[in-house]
Structure 1
Amino acid sequence: MSGGVRDLRGRTVVVTGASAGIGAAAARLFAERGASVAVVGRSREKTAAIAAQVGGTMHLADFGSLDSVRTLAADLLAAHGRIDVLANNAGAIFEDHRTSVDGHEMNIQVNHLAPFLLTNLLLDRLAESPDARVINTGSLQYRKAHLDLNDLNGTGVGYHKLRAYGASKIATILFTRELAHRMRGTGVTTSAFHPGSVATEVARENAMQGKLMSSWVGKVLLLSPEQGAEPLLHLATVDPQSVNGAYFHRLTREEPKNEQARDPHLAGRLWERSAELTDLPVLPRTR
């Protein structure tokens, strides 16, 4: 891919979940092309190591706390006079039903509410760039999932990790679609992608999956983090209008294969509900 990717010197890229896996690989790829990289992670030791490796800045955050996300946004705004790319890559699957300190089910908070809040808090700075992009890491698990806006915490049904995770990834696609709609007429565009089956720490809560991903068998069967980061680099460098609001399966644009993920009315309602849950202004949706 390197031959077709333009120089990123002078551009600032924020990558969340960058202390390992796809995020760390993406941080390296962006740095190799000259970008200044804000490396966001939860582990101080791992995040500092990647930041040092790519010559970037380290920022710590725990997406299980919305206050931590607010602090992260303030730190990013203070440290970076411009932000050109926000890669919402942090994510996790939780083995058991857990509630965050904010009272939300952890899959929906870490995978949707936290990046929703962070994006909104950085939007004004992003809009100052003539070509700003918000790129969201999705998952194939959205295809068979169902999102219930009246029960985002999943209390009405028995907990199943893939059902909860998949619902949060429907939210990722809907958020991408609605952000593109709401940012029309600005320099901010957005897209989402499924990276493929990658050996990462996203399944760190599951001992068996974690062992598989770190084993030689997993490394043979699964894509490397570097391969998983390729779509992120691609979406950060192609013509932005050609991918605005779109969802990609790896490098291929795909109409979402879930009726909910294609529903513009649901996207608008999810935005309003997410704003309520993150204490952001609930702005009306324009046509």
Structure 2
Amino acid sequence: MHGRTVVVTGASAGVGAAAAAALADLGANVAVVGRSKEKTTEVARRIGGTPYFVDFASLDDVRRLADELDCPRIDVLANNAGLMNRGRQVTRDGHEMTFQVNHLAPFLLTSLLMDRLKAAPDARVISTASAAHAFARLDLDDLGFGERRYRANDAYATSKLANILFTQELARRAQGTSVTASAFHPGPVASEFFRDNSFVTKVLRSPVGRFAITPDEGAKPLVHLATVADAQSVNGAYFTRRGRRTPRRTNPELAARLWEVSERLVGIGDEPNR
């Protein structure tokens, strides 16, 4: 990874911080992106990276981040930031919080950085998804659960399915360019991610929690996808720590329709690969 520029979002803790450290150890120049200035700065200091701050609950902040990223070329964009809200919240942009932070914000960021990705000879967009996608009921007319009953797990699953559909459609749209896309499930990581979910926190602290893995283990698929020799071999693919898997509830038509809806929701109209 020597000489390559890597942007990792959600890198102030957990899987993101572990992946940033691993890629820095391999020689990459890492842009450490996080919401917490204190934690993000500390991770960047520790691994020799550059800290950047963003709040994905604001699409204007995502646009500011894209402007401030001092990277004329990006070799790897790891869309790792995410959350799982206990209750339904609406952002200042008018979107359900979980869906915006987990899908719309990285969708917009990727679009804004596409020229810099295409400037790299072998660029990779890697999205942190989840096995929870298999339980999603994706309703393109009600992505924010304004009409349906809101459940935290359902909203999270919907956003994670969106991550995989985004990956598949980006892989299709970026054909003929140097950009590839892949997604992965990190596994049951014991980290700060579920700090606002009291049920999951209790589970992790119970005897069942012994099956949880470390952030370093959870980051391994991301590092693999960032470093695998043949990026085309994993283009559009979904991985777990056990290797490539076939995601559920996906199809090309749904991926294309979600892309179009996402463009409208974030206020862009051009395909990122144009």
Give the corresponding residue for 1:189: 180
Q: In the alignment, which of 219, 230, 241 is matched to residue 229 of structure 1?
A: 219
Amino acid at match of 1:268: A
Q: In the alignment, which of 250, 254, 267 is matched to residue 245 of structure 2?
A: 254
1:273 and 2:249 are equivalent in the alignment:
no
Aligned mates of 1:282, 1:9 — CA distance in 2: 33
Aligned-pair CA distance for 1:218: 6.8
Aligned-pair CA distance for 1:179: 0.3
Give the corresponding residue for 1:109: 100
Aligned-pair CA distance for 1:200: 1.8
Moved beyond 3 Å, runs of 4+: 210-213, 215-219, 282-286
- Any residues of structure 2 matched to 1:19-168 within 5 Å, and which? 19-76=12-69, 79-168=70-159
- For structure 1, which segment, 130-139 or 201-210, has the greater mean C-alpha deviation from structure 2 after superposition? 201-210
Aligned mates of 1:131, 1:282 — CA distance in 2: 23
In structure 2, the CA distance between the partners of 1:282 and 1:272, relative to structure 1 (3 Å rule), is farther
What are the ranges of 5 or more consecutive residues in structure 1 without an aligned counterpart?
A: 1-7
In structure 2, the CA distance between the partners of 1:284 and 1:37, relative to structure 1 (3 Å rule), is closer
Aligned-pair CA distance for 1:140: 0.9
Aligned mates of 2:2, 2:128 — CA distance in 1: 23
Aligned mates of 1:268, 1:50 — CA distance in 2: 37
In structure 2, the CA distance between the partners of 1:285 and 1:19, relative to structure 1 (3 Å rule), is closer
CA contact (8 A) 1:198 1:222 kept: yes
Structure 1 residue matching 2:184: 3-state secondary structure:
strand
Amino acid at match of 1:108: F
CA contact (8 A) 1:94 1:106 kept: yes
Q: In the alignment, which of 199, 203, 207 is matched to residue 190 of structure 2?
A: 199
CA contact (8 A) 2:114 2:273 kept: no
Tell me the TM-score normalized by structure 2: 0.96
Aligned-pair CA distance for 1:144: 1.4
Q: Root-mean-square deviation (CA), in Å?
A: 1.7
Aligned-pair CA distance for 1:255: 1.2
Aligned-pair CA distance for 1:116: 0.1
Aligned mates of 2:176, 2:107 — CA distance in 1: 20
Aligned mates of 2:207, 2:223 — CA distance in 1: 27
1:170 and 2:161 are equivalent in the alignment:
yes
What are the ranges of 5 or more consecutive residues in structure 2 without an aligned counterpart?
A: none
CA contact (8 A) 1:276 1:282 kept: no
Amino acid at match of 2:45: A
| Deviation by residue 1:16-63 (Cα, 9 ceiling, x = unmatched) | 000000000001100100000000000000000000001100000000
Aligned-pair CA distance for 1:111: 0.5
Provide the aligned length of Structure 1 versus Structure 2: 273
In structure 2, the CA distance between the partners of 1:251 and 1:85, relative to structure 1 (3 Å rule), is farther
Structure 1 residue matching 2:219: 3-state secondary structure:
helix
Aligned mates of 1:117, 1:216 — CA distance in 2: 38
Aligned mates of 1:169, 1:284 — CA distance in 2: 21
Aligned mates of 1:86, 1:211 — CA distance in 2: 33
Aligned-pair CA distance for 1:220: 2.7
Aligned-pair CA distance for 1:205: 1.6
| Deviation by residue 1:127-150 (Cα, 9 ceiling, x = unmatched) | 000000000000111101111111
Aligned-pair CA distance for 1:281: 1.2
